[in-house]
Amino acid sequence: MMNIEVNGKKVQAADGVTILEALNNAGIKVPTLCHMKGLPPSGACRICVVENAENGVLMPSCSFPAWEGMKILTHSPKALAARKTIVELLLANHPDDCLYCDRNNNCELQDLAVEFGVRKRKFSAAKNNYHIDSSSPAILRDPAKCILCGKCVRVCEEVQAVSAIDFVRRGSRAMISPAFCESLNTSSCVNCGQCVAVCPTGALVERSSIADVINALNDPEKIVVIQHAPAVSVSLAEEFGIDAGQDINGIMVAALRKIGFDKVFDTSFTADLTIMEEANELVERIKNGGKLPMITSCSPAWIKFAETFYPEFIENLSSCRSPQQMMGAVIKSYFAQKQNVDPSKIYSVSVMPCTAKKFEAERPEMIRHGVADIDAVLTTRELAKLIVRYGIDLRNLAPEEADTPFGTRSSAGKLFAGSGGVMEAAVRTAFFMLTGKNPESPVISGFRGLDGVKEVTLSVSGLTIKAAVVSSLGNAKKILEAVKKGEAQYHFIEVMSCPGGCINGGGQPRSVDRQNVIKRLKALYAIDEESELKYSHENPDIVRLYNEFFKKPGSHLAHELLHTHYTKRELLK
């Protein structure tokens, strides 16, 4: 440890930390824009400058190392004036459409303008004449609102290993764009939305489906049903100022009914259905010498990543559809038959923590006989806006249960929201399929937590099964490269596109605080601990669905409705 002086007070700091890290550890706040915790500093924006008290020099605290005996001022007139000038320069050519911007009242640039008292335009510059890129099914890109902080570029390249966007051009013409200033749909973008999650302004936002959903709700000819993903109930509350990690499942269901949805289903039900099919597929591959390692297929951004960058692993992908698409297929087949309605009359909505789910719903493989399994996908953030639009006060709602038959779920299905959850749920049921009994403990601690790569070796009925759990596409790339080179052998690999899994998806409440993500994950574990139904194969409504409709996992009808195929993608040249 070393001693430094901050604003005239002694502070201890660990050796080797930056000034910003030392300040944060001491509970002293300094504003940032370009800084990304856990990644090397770029020092691009200079908003975090502090003053050296001994010589008056301004230093970027995010990239400048702290040293023994240093004396700094975090909020001196000189530092504050520099920060204010930077904000004024950023606003010089920024659009004046805050009232219409998706990020209004939730914009880091707007917050900084308030913090530094910027209330009029000091510098004027010609507005950039950029076109909005609406080519992606998941993400809207408005270059005019970009402040060149570089966060989107860094998360895309350094975390996700996709590199779909980068800085192009030079000087005052510099911008962030796909290669050759083309559109997102011609790039390697996998629609994960991590760029949206870190963008401080409205330069990157999800494509909104709110208007389409409202139109369907107002159409008397439509039966409008909605499903909500496992991650949504443990994160939605944050959008309403409630502490992170609160599970408001029942309250959310009540809100959805008040909005006017005819049926409210829980995607955790089809997470259980996914486990039945996926565990059966894994057991079949292990017993019959099938293609191994088998790799999960629940994350659509991961699927597109594999199709684009690792097509040699397409045969390794589980053929199971994601829980979202399984629910969509079951709603427009089994549910439609039970209700005696034409599937085309059903408008199926999903609420997902993921922007890539918008892309997945539009995949041609997910459209049967001209009818899409899912008609609209809302992110968690969009659902919050819809609830506000309908004037619903979450704090004064009594919890309600989701509708049957797709409302009953095991806690194994709920675990899908966190990294390792799919693997843990699958192993619980695969163990049963191999041995005829449940494991001694349903909890497999080696699969839990936020580590980017986790490995577990299991012994089941004389078989040794080696499994890996990976979150973030950058880590997926490392694992796939190791498998290609023969440096690692696995039977089963779970891949989630976003760091930490769906709880940290691109459509979740924006949070720079990792503790919020940890709290969401802990909420899932608490649900599992308190649940009496912990195994997907023991879900009574899943058993009933097989008895009445699918007959057994892996049946012909199950393959027709619950499985799919993937294809190598060629990047446009």
| DSSP structural state of residue 324 | H
Cβ atoms of 223 and 339 within 8 Å: the answer is yes
- Active site residue: 360, 382, 424, 494, which one? 360
Active site residue 357: yes
Q: Confirm whether 530 is a catalytic residue.
A: no
How far is 319 from 285, CA to CA, in rounded Å? 12
Q: Of 282, 331, 248, which Cα lies nearest the Cα of 490?
A: 282
- C-alpha to C-alpha distance for 414 and 402, rounded to whole angstroms: 14
Edge-first strand order for the sheet with 294-295 is: 294-295, 492-496, 463-471, 453-460
360 noted as active-site residue: yes
Whether 181 sits among the annotated catalytic residues: the reply is no
Examine the residue annotation and report whether 281 is marked as an active-site residue of this protein: yes
Q: Report d(CA 202, CA 142) in Å as an integer.
A: 7
Q: What does DSSP say about strands 453-460 and 367-368: parallel, antiparallel, or unpaired?
A: unpaired
Catalytic residue among 281, 307, 424, 494: 281
- Check if 320 is active-site: no
CA of residue 354 relative to chain centroid, distance: 5
Radius of gyration, alpha carbons of the chain: 25
Catalytic hit among 145, 304, 332, 357: 357
Q: What residues contact 120, with CB distance under 8 A and at least 6 apart? A: none
C-alpha–C-alpha distance, residues 331 and 338, integer Å: 10
| Candidates 88, 362, 365, 455; catalytic one | 365
Among residues 108, 206, 277, 278, the one annotated as catalytic is 278
Asked if 192 is an active-site residue, the reply is no
Task: Give the Cα separation of 134 and 106 in Å (integer).
Answer: 22
Q: Which of 502, 519, 534, 536 is catalytic?
A: 502
Q: How many residues does the chain have?
A: 573
Calpha distance 435→572 (Å, rounded): 48
Report how far residue 54's alpha carbon sits from residue 265's, in angstroms, rounded to the nearest whole number: 63
- List beta partners, residue 5: 10, 71
Answer yes or no: 365 catalytic. Answer: yes
Q: Which of 136, 318, 348, 536 is catalytic?
A: 318
Name the residue among 489, 455, 451 with its Cα closest to residue 472. Answer: 451
What is d(CA 155, CA 316) in angstroms, rounded to the nearest whole number? Answer: 27
Q: How far apart are CA 355 and CA 191, in angstroms?
A: 6
Taking the C-alpha atoms of residue 27 and residue 23, their distance in angstroms, rounded to an integer, is 6
Of these residues, 107, 298, 354, 498, which one is catalytic? 298
Residues 6+ apart with CB under 8 A from 337: none
Long-range pairs, 18-21, Cβ under 8 A, ≥24: 18/61, 18/62, 18/63, 18/64, 18/65, 18/66, 19/50, 19/59, 19/61, 19/62, 19/64, 19/65, 19/66, 19/70, 19/72, 20/48, 20/61, 20/62, 21/66
Give, to the nearest 10 degrees, the angle between helix 108-115 and helix 77-91.
Answer: 140
Dihedral over Cα of 207, 208, 209, 212: its sign: negative
What are the residue numbers of the active site?
278, 281, 298, 318, 357, 360, 365, 502
